[in-house]
Amino acid sequence: MKSLAELQAIKERTLKAMTARNDSEENTRIVVGMATCGIAAGARPVLNAFTEEIARRSLKGVTVSQTGCIGMCQYEPIVEVFVPGQEKVTYVQMSADKVARVVTDHIVNGNIVTEFTVGSVAK
């Protein structure tokens, strides 16, 4: 059974680990469209999959956030990846099972998954 005492223990563990962290502009940002169109198309499991994959790999300097309607509803779920110093990459028609590949190839190894991008899908 989950208790508030357990949360207290999590706090103590996390505070020690947090000292080295920085949420600066140097972070890679993963932004998931979470307006009505995105949610209806399946953005919630996509966002969950990103946060779980990043936690599982203990990646530092990567943040996941949400935004409203990006304006291309027919391509939802849409995910934008902002790597500092590089052009924004827009992934479209995402699903939870595509997330691990984006994290491995793009976020970790720096290789854009071209076949999932808006440039490939919207041809």
46 near other proteins, judged by CB under 8 A: no
Six-digit token pair at 15? 């505070």
Of 37, 70, 55, 53, nearest in space to 104 by CA: 53
Contact residue for other proteins among 39, 83, 112, 118 (CB under 8 A): 39
The interface mask with other proteins, positions 1-30, x = CB under 8 A, is xx-x-xxx-xx-xxx--x------------
The sign of the dihedral angle between the CA atoms of 95, 101, 102, 103 is: positive
DSSP β-bridge partners for residue 90? 80
Question: Kind of pairing, strands 79-82 and 62-67?
Answer: unpaired
Q: State the DSSP code for 123.
A: -
Choose the binding region for other proteins from 63-71, 77-85, 86-94, 111-119 (rule: CB under 8 A). 63-71
Looking at residue 77, its amino acid is P
Residue selected from 20, 22, 62, 71 as contacting other proteins according to rule CB under 8 A: 71
**C-beta closer to other proteins: residue 48 or 93:** 48
How many Å apart are CA 44 and CA 64, to the nearest integer? Answer: 12
Distance CA 59, CA 74 (A): 31
In the window 76-95, what residues touch other proteins (CB under 8 A)? none
Indicate the residue among 64 and 102 with the shorter CB distance to other proteins. Answer: 64
List of residues contacting other proteins (CB under 8 A): 1-2, 4, 6-8, 10-11, 13-15, 18, 34-37, 39-40, 44-45, 47-48, 51, 55, 64-66, 68-71, 73
